[in-house]
Structure 1
């Protein structure tokens, strides 16, 4: 029984200590309630409003860019690849024909000179043969030339 008395005594001491601790906690709680502390959220509110306005500007800018892209996309023309290849092929053909034409035109002067000199040589050969075959025509021609030189 002595042990029970000891245990009961210890329990009463613990209960008294617990009651004292509760009393102190109640006093501290009352003191905390009476303190005029109010949390200051003004800085947080200003930060949130600045962030919100920045977000609104960003969203407005993105919407404006999206409308611009959609407008350009609606106005764009979509061509099939075969049409583009055909257009490039025609352009190359036109350029080749144009270059060949310029080359041919640049060569015409040389062709004309060559043809003129060949024609002159043929005419001279023809007249020599004619004069060799008919000496009377040669004499008449020489007389005509002498009269022409005198005038």
Structure 2
């Protein structure tokens, strides 16, 4: 019996410990039922708003840069100013040189014709003097001219 009493006593202690644990769990359960969990999104809202503000700043900076690039492209030239100036100078020099050579060529033709007429007059005056000094040769020359004219008329 002593054993039985010892077992009963042990069993009673165990049941009492078990009841204590149950009461403790019931108390905690009551605390959880009364506990209200409140979702706090203020931190998330702050981070989202901060992110959006930074994004707007980045977008504004990008818009300004795109505007500057567009203005740069509109004002850009394919050729630099010094190259355009050099081209104009080269074209001007070519036009001036062509004008000079054209004028020189025209004057050369006029001078050539004047020289020919001058040489012709000189030759005629020299021949006139020669023929005046040698009348016999002049008569032979006149015969030769008539003969030549008659041959050229027959052709």
Q: TM-score normalised by the shorter chain: which range applies?
A: 0.3 to 0.5
TM-score, normalised relative to structure 2: 0.42
TM-score, normalised relative to structure 1: 0.43
